Copies of this chain bind each other. A is one copy, B any other.
């Protein structure tokens, strides 16, 4: 997605530890025009899949997932992050190891909001090693729902998570895939 790539080049900052800072338009401040276009792009790619729910994880996935939900005309569910493993029978939960912070947290969704009748598109702002997405996929599976795939804003391709999931047969659509950030130079996959 050209306008996203241009924005990453203009405003993204590469920090030590393979961290890409995009606080000015995704992580902290949100540009509604760009976010709307990302939502539309996910709709274009998944519009024939019969999607009934968009699933993301708080917090920075919410705006993009909401933008997608507007185009699909379906509800958006955001998984909550909790530090304790929730053994409540009214929730689906899965452990996620954070790449950025090193800690493990749980993602949790009430059983009320995803059921076996749903077809779910997972949406997130970032895909690196893929842990958050694997957690969301696990929740979809626990619910007995159909998984349409995942729509990602920025995939850090060089960390391998996206390609591993594609090799397993999942449909992963990323709007910008970064294949290298060496020496602070961002190289996109085309």
Contacts and interface: CB of A to CB of B under 8 A. Distances in A.
Interface of A: 23-24, 28-33, 35-36, 58-59, 62-63, 66-67, 69-70, 73-78, 80, 109-110, 112-113
A30 B66 contact: yes
A28 B76 contact: no
B110 A77 contact: no
Contact of A75 (B32, B59, B76, B110): B32
A28 B91 CA distance: 12
A76 B33 CA distance: 11
User: Which has the most chain B C-beta neighbours within 10 Å: A58, A62, A67?
Assistant: A62
Contacts of A63: 62-63, 66, 76
A188 B60 CA distance: 33
A77 B32 contact: no
26 contacts: A23-B113, A24-B113, A28-B77, A28-B78, A28-B110, A29-B77, A30-B69, A30-B77, A30-B78, A32-B66, A32-B69, A32-B70, A32-B73, A32-B74, A36-B70, A58-B58, A58-B59, A59-B59, A59-B78, A59-B80, A62-B66, A63-B63, A63-B66, A63-B76, A66-B66, A66-B67
Contacts of A36: 70
A29 B69 CA distance: 11
Contacts of A33: 73
B112 A75 contact: no
A7 to B, nearest CB: 13
Contacts of A75: 29-32
A178 to B, nearest CB: 22
Contacts of A58: 58-59
